Amino acid sequence: MAQWEELLRLDAALQSRVSLLYEGKLHRDIRGTLSSWIESHDWDSVAADENMARIGFQALLAYLEEQHNRCIEEKTLLQGPNFSWMKDYLMENFQNEPLKFAVILSECLKEEKKILASGATPQCFMEPNRRILDAKVSELKRLTEEVKKEINTLEDLNEKLDYVQKTFESEVEQDVGLAQSAPGLERKCLERSNFITQTQQIVLGQVVHILKEMEQMLNTLIGEELPMWKRRQQLACIGSPVNTDLHHLQKWFTSVAEVLLEVRDQLQKLLQWSHRYNTDSSTMPTVTQIDAFAVSLLTRLFTNALVVEEQPVVLKSPRCLILKTKVRFMVKVRFLVNLPGLKYQLKVKPVFDKDVEEVKTLPGFRVFEFTSADSKVLDVDPVDGGLMAVFRNLSIQEKESRIKGSKENRLGVTEELHVVKFVTTVQFAGLKCDVEASSLPVAVISSSSQASSAWASIMWWTMLSPGEPWNLSLFTDPPPLSWELLSQALSWQFLSVGHRGLDENQLATLRDKLEDHPEGLVNWKTFSRSENAWIWIDGILDLIKNYMVDLWKDGSIMGFVSRGRTKSLLQNKLPGTFLLRFSESITEGAITFSWVHSSGGESRVHNVDPYTKSELSTTPLPNIIYNYSLLGERTTTNPLLYLYPDVPKDAAFKRYYKAKTAVKGYVSRKLVFASDDPTPPPSPPEAPDAMETDMETGTDCQQVVEELFSSLLDMPGYSQSWTHQSPAPLSPVFDCSDSFRSS
């Protein structure tokens, strides 16, 4: 199967990731329409050679021309793809940059494979499984209907036989002559009775077959499908783009319950006939045993039908599974068996740390209780009519205070894991069973400053805990995590915050920082405790989310790249080529740009002092890049010309520039970020010029400012005329209070 066809089989979340790959780079329709042609070429090799890139691009244009001519010959021009438009689009955007086109395809095809590897394989398995289960449910319903018809026929036969026997006995009493025909009639009645008994045994065999098939179905639902859904939900909680929809599970659970209830109804009919028509009583124990088997299956189904559909999350918090004492949180539960008779009948009660052994066995393990936890009756979901309850006002408080600094406490506050359980009792169709469902483990904090460390614990636990039972004491001796698993979790964080995960190069940079074991493992201490690596990464996530999500999404930010690799990437590029990378030293998150400058035949790579959140909150990064200047002895220049590898600065950032509107009656100004030029001039000036004399004497400061900063006043929306009709004094041309930064 072609790669593009596999991508089309993914769920919506994964397909959106594919769309983002091409946003602002290449029209997605071209990738899809030309998928066979594109995937038949080795774009990695083409992207490494400019001549090959040019040849490949011309070959594509020729292919499009050929397809366009074929459509004309076959008179299908309006029915098929618009090959003429595609050719025009490619020529307009890539005719002068065929290498850029090859690089885009090479990188995007690689990223597509990653998306397929992370999400397509489970999805490909899910679809056949769903079809198989749907087919099984349909077949079981058909068999049950056949049994129902057979039993209705048996009922008619029993009624007729009973009528004949009772009528004949009555007529014999009235007419003695009929007694002579009694032996023959009795023989016929006996034959009919035997036929009924044999047919009933066959029907009971069919019922047993149905129940055994139902047992296998339950094994699949409860032993495979439900755990897989819970695992997907686990991963979704930490950002994985997986499908957590419950539609299919609810449909299957409900269908199985309907079949089991129908089977029980038919078994009850058989038991009633045995009493009413005095049929062969030898079948009664069999019917009773079969009914007990059906009851056990139904009970098993009910006890596993309650699930936590939406995990605990503090209101307005972007991350679930982190609770804060005395702060409200929300959680949603659902009963997967959606039967009319259960509506408004099930009352669910939340219980904190129910049956948690760690409360008793771990010294210093904190004990919490709900400040208020009223039960809720399962209501009807307005979307799909299912049975659900949303708890919106839950909150907890510590029941027994933990002694600070106690040596008995083996877990840090953010490493301690708890659960919220939901309990109810099902009384339905003669059954009564206790049902409960558990949330995923949650971390409980008392201060917002602990939230980041708590999230590290949730991620670490999630990647190490693929299924129940939950190990709430995992952090008493936390096992290491493989880089393969940790890199997935980290990439999901950036995907969920900035709609773009981490590529191989970015992950390689993080791996060099985090991996501390020869077998490719990362220790918990390195990740979250002594090194504070996660705090640094989380600071960058916050930086992206609040100040540069669009730049991260469109790929403008290289992000995780070391200073040494930055130098090697830029050294041989055109002067003015720059890249954006995250600061490695500022824990709360900061970004810098590095550029290459050529002077006297020698290339130097410079790095600007990183920009922090406080600076980005006042001036967007694209504006900083647009206005950034180097202050030389005589001139000011913006050294940033091309975003790596060779994208003109305005082409990359123009749509993000934000112009400031001047207040009426004032000359507009702009905040200029500048540095002293780190590259010394080739030779010192021979003599002071007129401008320097003016600056020393102060004879014409206004003229000096005009000449010195005229190159900075060309941005649309910022520049204003320097001439005034009014003799009123001018406002400052630029704000220099905190504008200048040293490199």
Does this model's pTM top 0.85? My answer is no
List pLDDT tens digits, range 70-114: 888 877 777 778 888 899 999 999 999 999 999 999 989 888 888
Q: Hey, which residues does 372 pair with through a beta bridge?
A: 395
Which tokens go with 432?
A: 């009564």
pLDDT at residue 13 in the model: 61
Number of helical (H) and strand (E) elements in the chain, helices listed first? 26, 25
Residue-averaged pLDDT of the chain? 81
**Number of neighbours of residue 24 by Cβ within 10 angstroms:** 13
Q: State mean pLDDT over 686-714.
A: 40
For the cut 90, the answer to whether the pLDDT of residue 334 exceeds it is: yes
CA distances from 252 to 26, 185, 307, 455, 735 (A): 42, 50, 14, 34, 66
Q: State mean pLDDT over 692-700.
A: 36
Q: State mean pLDDT over 272-301.
A: 78
Helix (H) or strand (E) holding 335: strand 329-335
E strands along 510-601, which residues?
521-522, 577-582, 590-599
Percent of the chain surpassing pLDDT 90? 42
Lowest mean pLDDT segment, chosen from 183-187, 325-329, 661-665, 728-732: 728-732
Relative to beta strand 674-676, strand 629-631 is parallel
* Pairwise CA distance, residues 340 & 185, whole Å: 48
Give the pLDDT band of residue 645 (cuts 50, 70, 90).
Answer: confident
Give the pLDDT band of residue 698 (cuts 50, 70, 90).
Answer: very low
Helix (H) or strand (E) holding 712: none
Domains and CATH numbers, the chain: 307-453 (2.60.40.630), 498-551 (no CATH), 602-735 (3.30.505)
Q: What is the CA radius of gyration of the chain?
A: 37
For 163-211, the DSSP string reads HHHHHHHHHHHH-GGGGGGHHHHHHHHHHHHHHHHHHHHHHHHHHHHHH
